[in-house]
Structure 1
């Protein structure tokens, strides 16, 4: 009998800023412009170095969408010597590479040119679609316009960027909306072949937010969405769930292939109330399946050469590192 394989990535999470132009009804990540609203280069470098020492292979760079459009933010960034958050991210990606860890950037909606530039220093990139539906939770979030996000995902495909996307379920969408969202993602992958994984993430209410009193998705409904994702998505696209937000052990059998990035060092800044399970705990969650570590760029994209040539030696070294760990 073939033994199932469930994968994960060992990462370190770097939220470069929590300033954001969107105002989603469920989000506790966003903060106003204030002192310390940008992670300093010193802190970022120390975090990267600590991640390398902890055996992490992925540096996850993320930040609020278009923070430069928020009044006063540019002054804080200028104090660090930068005029654009993307320039800052680019430089830190270069530092991560020099330190021995692969960058993966999720910076919200980007233009074709911005994607093309960041592609030079990233092994993979991502953007959550969340939903194709027009939901009240996004009424104050121009960056959550589904058409805008789908267009960026299409640009990533044209640029051959190994890409992560996903659904956020329980924010006002219907089961039909979820099916439509998955069909859109599947269609993009069939056209461009660039979707590595699709995260099926459950909404978790956050105290103090507009949706703080809303109920999360029942486990049975979550399971149905995972099963639907596995049925709709092409077989070479992994279905991922976040193991810190749901009963992963109960959901694995529904068609889960991957448990995402798990950090031995940093918290989940988007869901800080939910700590990561550690690696040994993951082994218990997958049951009889084989838990296997991976890089943030999946093996098939490495084989196709969909990465900056300057990352070739580092990818080979980190592949060897995780192979030795699995022995």
Structure 2
């Protein structure tokens, strides 16, 4: 039995108790290190018209329920600028699939705006947002051909398309995807493959509880893994649990149990191993955050302080402090990331014209910057260096940091990796390191600070370099 085969993972899933599966998943996840990430975003619903009729969806609307079929450019920019004020770094464009193929109203509105297709309009709105606000666009336009994908690559750092399920059975009459041509698994897998061919970091995943079997979930995940093995472009897998909503055909369909979600998360980690980023939406599972962490995730996805979750409006985003507390209580650091993961910042994963915007938002590790301090430009120290904040940081949940600090206090030289870990500390870890460094300074040198009077003699002011801070 091959270790990457459906039968192999079916046997593991059927024969292993849930607590053991979760433990195996945790061990794999923990090899990545301690951060659990999130992306601070705004949600821009460019159009809520859609040619598909998924039986569980409340995002899609009919034209008569919308002021305009498409958001206007000033509305798009208003959302993005509110995000900029709140230090968001991601602009998530989510929209219905090709509504102009179904609705005359969509065709007419595009014509009024001066565009031939939704993709054309999305291109310009994405370009507008990144140029005016610096927020990094992550696009969810649905299924596309290779030409559309290559065009949108010029104005986005990553894209997303949920596979949901690779089972064609769900597209048959009575299934949740009946009447939705873009939910054909072959079409969605083709788009995911074309995104790989175009070198675009992709977020994809499965939706559980819509009538699929556990075996079909595993099969869907293995289809994604097959494409990732070819192109290396899947930056993240989402396991999203179905939530029944009023006024939908599936309003009486029971949601998957917590145990079912934890089983699927654990199996996803086992299938994809240590390196893959695994997300579970926190706003859909607020009562189960500790168990979700214990199932091998390392990401909470996008969280917005500005906009609601238009796909799940009944489930508000968690407060970031609450999410941080839940994460810290399990021994992990909550760390902000960008719409593109650190692993994809190097190489040819997005258009060269976007690199200045990406580097402006990222720190040296490829995660999101946690302050606006700029070397040689900023006159005030960053808030993270405020003595009133870090002087009170008497502890951290990071055991690795604890061990390194104890080693330093024992007068043992730190190795390269340990020093790097201290330099890369952020948030509560950084405050703890600063506090302990100050304590060590006091023990070694006391409270006397020396200085020397010196003179700087310039022998020339001519230099061939153009350092930005000089």
- TM-score per shorter chain, which class? over 0.9
Provide the residue aligned with 1:227 in structure 2.
266
The alignment status of 1:125 with 2:159, answered yes or no, reads yes
Q: Secondary structure at the match of 1:281?
A: helix
RMSD, aligned CA: 1.5
The alignment status of 1:290 with 2:368, answered yes or no, reads no
Kindly state the Cα deviation for residue 96 of structure 1 after the two structures are TM-superposed.
1.4
The alignment status of 1:23 with 2:53, answered yes or no, reads yes
Runs of 4+ in 1 over 6 A off after TM superposition: none
Provide the residue aligned with 1:36 in structure 2.
68
**Structure with the largest fraction of strand:** 1
d(CA) in 2 for partners of 1:166 and 1:24? 17
d(CA) in 1 for partners of 2:348 and 2:150? 16
Q: 2:233 aligns with which of 194, 215, 219?
A: 194
The alignment status of 1:81 with 2:127, answered yes or no, reads no
Equivalent runs, 1:238-277 vs 2, <5 Å: 238-246=277-285, 247-277=288-318
Provide the residue aligned with 2:137 in structure 1.
103
d(CA) in 1 for partners of 2:47 and 2:370? 35
Q: 2:150 aligns with which of 116, 139, 142?
A: 116
Q: 1:237 aligns with which of 259, 276, 284?
A: 276
The alignment status of 1:313 with 2:356, answered yes or no, reads yes
d(CA) in 1 for partners of 2:310 and 2:197? 31
Q: Deviations along 1:209-242, whole A, 9 cap, x unmatched?
A: 0000111010001000000000001432211000
d(CA) in 2 for partners of 1:26 and 1:70? 19
Greater relative contact order (Cα < 8 A, sep 6+): 1
Provide the residue aligned with 2:368 in structure 1.
322
- Preserved CA contact (<8 Å) 1:186 1:234: no
Q: Secondary structure at the match of 1:282?
A: helix
**Is 306-315 or 267-276 further displaced after alignment?**
306-315
Question: Unpaired runs of 5+ in structure 2?
Answer: 1-29, 372-425, 428-470
Provide the residue aligned with 1:151 in structure 2.
190
Q: 2:84 aligns with which of 27, 48, 52?
A: 52
What TM-score do you get using the length of structure 1 for normalisation? 0.97
d(CA) in 2 for partners of 1:228 and 1:165? 16
Q: 1:211 aligns with which of 250, 254, 270?
A: 250
Flag the structure with larger Rg: 2
**Is 83-92 or 55-64 further displaced after alignment?**
83-92
Question: Unpaired runs of 5+ in structure 1?
Answer: none
Q: Secondary structure at the match of 1:36?
A: coil
The alignment status of 1:4 with 2:34, answered yes or no, reads yes
Provide the residue aligned with 1:302 in structure 2.
345
Q: Deviations along 1:193-217, whole A, 9 cap, x unmatched?
A: 0000000000010101000011101
- Preserved CA contact (<8 Å) 2:199 2:348: no
Q: Secondary structure at the match of 1:78?
A: helix
d(CA) in 2 for partners of 1:119 and 1:285? 36
